[in-house]
Amino acid sequence: MLRLQTSILVLAILCSQHSAFSGDYLLPQDWPQFRGRQASGVADGPAPPTTWDVSTSSNVRWKTAIPGLGLASPIVGRGYVFIVTAVGSNEDPSLKTGLYGDIAPVPDEGVQTWELYCLSQRTGQICWKQILYQGVPAIKRHTKASHANSTPATDGRYIIVNLGSEGLYCVDYCGNIQWKRDFGVLDSGYYQVPSAQWGFASSPIIYRDMVIVQTDVQENSFLGAYNIRNGFKKWRVDRTDVPTWSTPAVFEGSERTELIINGYRHTGGYDPWTGRELWKLTGGGDIPVPTPVFGHDLIYLSSAHGPKRPLRAIRPGATGDITDMEDGEDGPFAWNHPQDGIYMQTPLVLGPHLYACRLNGVLTCYDAVTGKQQYRKRVGSGTGFTPSVVAVDDRLYITSEDGKVFVVRAGSEFELLATNSMEDICMATPAISNGMLIVRTKSHVYGIEQTGRDSQIATATFEE
């Protein structure tokens, strides 16, 4: 109880003083958005344990039940974990796993209540929850999805939550809603079968003082940037793409900064300050999900579904339409594997290697600079591998939908270190912060940390 009271007190100090601070509000080991900083999937600091056991609580620091259903990943800011969920009348909502081709959405589920939870990272105790919206969802969900798919983002002062058709929200660290923007109905269903409503999933990102959202839907797709303090529009540009589920990312290069968007009809780079298009690329898989990632002064893009599934490395600084340009030293493409793209997961760059895991659990390691394949191995059995790979130090954590977490050593040769079971469905990408692996299952959130470790988790404190 004392720890919880301390957490609440710190939150109160944070909320009352945040307007007086300048500089970076996040801590070095925070995990502030989908897949952490720049969506890299790579954490700083100590590594979580290689093995744990949820049935005996070995290396499990805490376990917290979260009601409803949400596939949004956990994020971490200044010692707090933030979780989004949608709570309906069904205490055990359906969630299908595995590889199957049924595109029909879940039938109407009635009124949902969208909630944002704040947990202490030290203890897992709930500090507060805030109801963001209540009503019947404007769009149905996919059988493998929820009504709360988009991962929130934080800059250490505010938490940004995108509920799609139910609005974009800014909440402070005390749980107070600061502003909301309504974009109307956002239908991210399959463009070839519009009745197959699947739900919105692109996550917001925060760059400098801007909230950036990629909104590729059936009609009136757009890319927009909004002031994080008041929600006022900075810029908004139309896009001509079909529905996508990718989260944007910002590449800060030596020559210029590029806002990178994965798409089908319109993958591209934009000026993050104005929304001006810098370069464009069409084609690939027609259901783009993976987020762009960066490394070795290259931009990596993957998409799949349909006859084409490219995995590409693009040099920054491109201009115009680069779709038909050839690979080569002078062109925008560093390398291109036309059939190696992955469908649901986002690739990961760690050291000299790029890792890409397919839905069937086959992990491929490439030389990140040349694209040369180092190995291709099946990680292990599982009903599907939707959560993206995350890493720290020399360890990759790869999660299957049936709750197995495979720990693989990073390197040019495949080495499986351990297999751990969460004993529940896992569809959300884990977070890593300060030696803790934070795993969201269908019904709980876990803090996985080495038993006996003197935790150095820092909790937000500010000074004038």
The Cα 264–Cα 71 span in angstroms is 24
Laid out side by side, the sheet with 153-154 consists of 153-154, 158-162, 168-172, 177-181
The Cα 444–Cα 111 span in angstroms is 22
What is residue 401's predicted lDDT score, i.e. its pLDDT?
97
What is residue 1's predicted lDDT score, i.e. its pLDDT?
54
What is residue 17's predicted lDDT score, i.e. its pLDDT?
45
What is residue 10's predicted lDDT score, i.e. its pLDDT?
56
What is residue 326's predicted lDDT score, i.e. its pLDDT?
72
Read off the tokens for 132. 């963001």
Q: Which fold would CATH assign to domain 2-448?
A: Methylamine Dehydrogenase; Chain H (2.130.10)
Q: Which of 362, 303, 310, 347 is nearest to 99 (CA)?
A: 362
What is residue 22's predicted lDDT score, i.e. its pLDDT?
34
What is residue 464's predicted lDDT score, i.e. its pLDDT?
25
The Cα 452–Cα 395 span in angstroms is 21
Each residue of 273-290: b (16+ CB within 10 Å) or e? eebebbbbbbebbbbbbb
The Cα 140–Cα 198 span in angstroms is 6
Laid out side by side, the sheet with 333-337 consists of 293-295, 298-302, 311-314, 333-337
Q: Which of 410, 300, 416 is nearest to 347 (CA)?
A: 300
What is residue 52's predicted lDDT score, i.e. its pLDDT?
98
Q: For residue 147, which phi and psi values (nearest 5 degrees)?
A: -90, 5
Q: Are 243 and 187 in contact (CB under 8 A)?
A: yes
The Cα 70–Cα 215 span in angstroms is 20
The Cα 220–Cα 286 span in angstroms is 18
The Cα 327–Cα 190 span in angstroms is 31
Q: Are 281 and 288 in contact (CB under 8 A)?
A: no
Per-residue pLDDT of the chain (464 residues; tens, 9 = 90+): 555 555 555 565 556 444 333 347 999 999 999 999 999 999 999 999 999 999 999 999 999 999 999 999 999 999 999 999 999 999 999 999 988 888 899 998 999 999 999 999 999 999 999 999 999 999 999 999 999 999 999 999 999 999 999 999 999 999 999 999 999 999 999 999 988 999 999 999 999 999 999 999 999 999 999 999 999 999 999 999 999 999 999 999 988 999 999 999 999 999 999 999 999 999 999 999 999 999 999 999 999 998 899 999 999 999 999 999 876 667 899 999 999 999 999 999 999 999 999 999 999 999 999 999 999 999 988 789 999 999 999 999 999 999 999 999 999 999 999 999 999 999 999 999 999 999 999 999 999 999 877 666 655 543 32
Per domain, the residue ranges of the chain are 2-448
